[in-house]
């Protein structure tokens, strides 16, 4: 989707099923399990434990040390973990549903026809190969027909609608200062590498990645029919242009602060920043409602873009546009040579993934991406019983009550701020499993046999749907994830927490789990998303979703001092080689991990008190409920990443690597030390622990 890029400040994901990737590469495949759905792990899987490790020294190793022996990273993945097992299980489920509706049967419902035909077309590699790039020829002709830079506006408007974002990104968002309103947004964009510092970072590893990227562009241009010399020249020109865009872009850490990416202005003011684009014409040609004002997320970028457009010759711009067009087209819909070349750079070289995923898995994922709620509607009917939703709703309420008590007992927060905090908590909307109202796909045409056409039409449909919101009241019932998604999120502008059906299954949530296991698994996940409303960026939005300073000045200073403890703590962790975790980039997620598990523990303790359960008495698992709780938390993040993937994650992802999501949390909780008999001063029970929420 073209919708604005720096969503980290507003929508924060749990990141449990996969690492952040570019382009998206999700899921996993267990070796030898191509024909059967892999079983889900139990709430406490003793196979994953390393009994030779000391939980007080390295709890990640103790709770998960044997996981890579049970589940080595499959050859078609750059990482594999607990969440990936659940993702794969869910992927098999959606695959079985798609197999049932892919046949051209007149008895199919309209939505079944769309998802079935989309999936069947994606699977038809012979037709894709035979079509080649002919479906894209009209787009290439648009580029070739450019006579001067003044004609760029119309082409850029069209390209934004089909998910190509040369030079900048464009979409809609809730107004940060008035969450009732949907407004237009333009922001930095136009890069082919994961984020701007890939173009600017020094060192051998960074230089190697840049060389591989240039070679990838060169190879792609050769596939387009260019001579070796021309392809090499064009690749260098594209790299130079993208590097210029990177130099005027904002870094990924700065984008986390909503104040840095909120600059409302008139269209006239935007035109003064970047006069080379006829902005009124641009907005009109995207069929958006009338736009007079918008958010220009990074004004300095558009000042720089003006200079870049002036300094770049038309032929170079055309070459760059061809490249950006190809990047926008999903690889699964392209001929094999293009598909393989993109995999080789983005997945193999950049992330260390040895081989491509099975075709059916990629097509199931693609169908979910294009028609997520159409697929999700039949998924929920088949796999998400009402009792699962009811039990989750109750757990969410319990954890929200724990947050209410936490706010009340805080010694560092003033009474005035506490009133506002409780008000925000009371206004948080809980979205569980699936939306109350399903999305209407009647305006999307899916044609059997047209892989590229289906991908482009799906992108246009979604972008038109998003842009049509501009100027209209916000639909607070809308979801940002499909029901089968194995993840969760908090949206600051909506002030809602969202838990799709996909994540509400074992080991995270199950009737077979002990209460302690459920609270350690999904309870920590619920607490995580809830805490995002009060992390270093979420706290800047009030209960209505408006960017508002509702804290007293003194409370704000105390909060910043406490979060600085986490910045330093996580910044001291070494992720791979000499690369440290970025404590500032990961601060929000680290705060949510720490606060979320603490809230889940409070809810577990309240639940045990109601039921008369002794949390410190061992049961037939061989562990006390307190130990089960922490082991469940640890096993949320069991897994292994290839070194290349960890490097990408640390440089682009606001989530810390999995071992630090385990150890970084428990070492800040004295209850953990008590549960496992740790002594003060041991690694998992430091004398000076961090505590925010």
Euclidean distance between the first and final Cα of the chain, in Å? Answer: 34
**Contact in structure between 112 and 101 (CB atoms under 8 Å):** yes
Retrieve residue 131's tokens.
């079509």
Catalytic residue, from 542, 593, 607, 644: name it.
Answer: 593
**How many other CB atoms sit within 10 Å of the CB of residue 246?**
19
The DSSP element (H or E) to which 192 belongs, if any, is none
Q: Using alpha carbons only, give the angle 262, 588, 640 rounded to the nearest 5 degrees.
A: 125
Helix (H, G, I), strand (E, B) or coil at 191: coil
Nearest Cα residue to 455 out of 144, 151, 23 = 23
User: Quick one: tokens of 138?
Assistant: 């009209």
Distances from the Cα of 250 to the Cα of 197, 247, 260, 390, angstroms: 9, 8, 9, 43
Distance CA 338, CA 328 (A): 13
Q: Is 529 a catalytic residue?
A: yes
- Active-site entry in 529, 535, 566, 653: 529
Element (H, E) at 475: none
The CA distances from residue 78 to 75, 278, 349, 503, 573, in Å, are 8, 43, 10, 21, 21
Half-sphere exposure of 231 (CA within 13 A, CB side): 15
* Partners of 11 in beta bridges: 491
Cα distances (Å, whole numbers) of residue 344 to 213, 336, 355: 10, 12, 9
Tell me which residue has tokens 């699936």. Answer: 434
- Which residue has tokens 């024909």? 35
Closest CA to 193 of 165, 219, 169, 213: 213
User: 615 and 516 in contact (C-beta within 8 Å)?
Assistant: yes
Computed over its alpha carbons, how large is the radius of gyration of the chain?
Answer: 25
Please state at what angle helix 359-370 crosses helix 82-101, rounded to 10 degrees: 80
The whole-angstrom separation of Cα 693 and Cα 587 is 13
**Rounded CA separation 455/689 (Å):** 50
Q: How many CB atoms lie within 10 A of CB 662?
A: 27
Give the length of the chain: 693
Helix axes of 386-409 and 524-532: crossing angle, nearest 10 degrees: 60
- Helical spans, DSSP H, in 170-313: 197-200, 204-223, 228-247, 267-273, 279-285, 299-311
Catalytic (active site) residue 478: no
- Return the active site residues: 529, 593
């Amino acid at each position: 989707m073209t919708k604005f890029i720096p969503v980290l400040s507003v929508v924060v994901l749990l990141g449990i099923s996969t690492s952040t990737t570019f382009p998206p590469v999700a899921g996993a495949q267990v070796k030898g399990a191509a024909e059967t759905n892999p079983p889900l792990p139990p709430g406490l899987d003793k196979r994953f434990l390393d009994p030779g490790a000391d939980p007080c020294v390295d709890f990640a190793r103790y709770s998960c040390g044997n996981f890579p022996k049970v589940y080595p990273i499959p050859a078609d993945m750059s990482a594999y973990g607990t969440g990936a097992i659940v993702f794969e299980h869910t992927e098999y489920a959606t695959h079985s549903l798609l197999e049932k509706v892919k046949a051209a049967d007149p008895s199919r419902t309209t939505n079944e026809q769309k998802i079935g035909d989309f999936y069947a077309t994606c699977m038809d590699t012979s037709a894709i190969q035979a079509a080649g790039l002919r479906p894209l020829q009209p787009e290439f002709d648009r580029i070739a027909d450019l006579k001067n830079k003044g004609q760029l506006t119309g082409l850029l408007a069209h390209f934004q609608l089909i998910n190509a974002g040369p030079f900048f990104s464009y979409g809609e968002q809730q107004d940060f200062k008035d969450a009732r309103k949907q407004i237009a947004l333009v922001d930095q964009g136009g890069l082919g590498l994961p984020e701007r510092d890939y173009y600017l970072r020094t060192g051998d590893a960074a230089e190697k990645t840049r060389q591989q990227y240039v070679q990838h562009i060169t190879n792609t241009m050769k596939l387009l029919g260019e001579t070796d010399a021309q392809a090499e020249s064009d690749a260098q020109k594209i790299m130079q242009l993208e590097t210029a865009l990177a130099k005027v872009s904002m870094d990924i850490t700065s984008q986390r602060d909503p104040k840095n990416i909120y600059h409302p202005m008139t269209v006239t003011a935007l035109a003064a920043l970047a006069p080379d684009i006829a902005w009124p014409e641009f907005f009109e040609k995207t069929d958006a409602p009338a736009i007079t004002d918008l958010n220009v997320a990074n004004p300095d970028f558009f000042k720089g873009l003006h200079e870049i457009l002036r300094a770049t010759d038309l032929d170079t711009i055309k070459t760059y546009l061809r490249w950006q067009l190809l990047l926008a087209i999903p690889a699964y819909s392209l001929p094999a040579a293009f598909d393989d070349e993109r995999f080789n750079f983005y997945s193999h070289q950049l992330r260390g993934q040895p081989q491509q995923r099975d075709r059916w898995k990629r097509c199931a994922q693609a169908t979910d991406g294009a028609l997520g709620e159409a697929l999700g509607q039949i998924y929920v009917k088949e796999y998400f019983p009402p009792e699962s939703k009811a039990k989750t709703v109750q757990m969410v309420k319990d954890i929200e009550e724990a947050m209410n008590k936490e706010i009340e007992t805080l010694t560092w927060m003033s009474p005035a701020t506490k009133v506002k905090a409780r008000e925000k908590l009371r206004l948080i909307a809980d979205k569980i499993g699936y939306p109350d109202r399903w999305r209407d796909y009647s305006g999307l045409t899916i044609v059997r046999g047209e892989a590229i056409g289906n991908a482009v039409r799906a992108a246009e449909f979604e972008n038109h749907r998003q842009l049509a919101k501009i100027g209209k009241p916000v639909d607070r019932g809308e979801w940002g994830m499909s029901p089968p998604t194995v993840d969760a999120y908090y949206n600051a502008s909506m002030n809602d927490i969202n838990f799709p059906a996909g994540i509400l299954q074992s080991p995270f949530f199950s009737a077979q789990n002990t209460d302690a296991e459920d609270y350690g698994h999904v309870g920590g996940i619920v607490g995580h998303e809830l805490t995002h409303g009060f992390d270093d960026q979420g706290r800047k939005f009030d209960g209505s979703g408006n960017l508002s300073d509702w804290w007293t000045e003194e409370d704000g200073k105390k909060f910043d001092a406490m979060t600085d403890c986490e910045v330093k703590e996580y910044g001291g962790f070494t992720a791979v080689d000499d690369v440290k975790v970025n404590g500032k980039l990961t601060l929000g997620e680290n705060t949510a991990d720490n606060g979320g598990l603490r809230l889940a523990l409070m809810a577990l303790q309240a639940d045990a008190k109601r039921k008369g359960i002794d949390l410190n008495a061992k049961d037939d698992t061989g562990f006390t409920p307190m130990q089960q709780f922490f082991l469940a938390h640890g096993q949320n993040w069991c897994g292994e990443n290839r070194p290349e993937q960890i490097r990408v994650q640390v440089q682009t992802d606001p989530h810390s690597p999995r071992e630090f999501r385990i150890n970084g949390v428990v070492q800040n909780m004295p209850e953990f030390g008590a549960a496992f008999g740790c002594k003060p001063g041991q690694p998992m029970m430091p004398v000076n622990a961090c505590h925010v929420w």
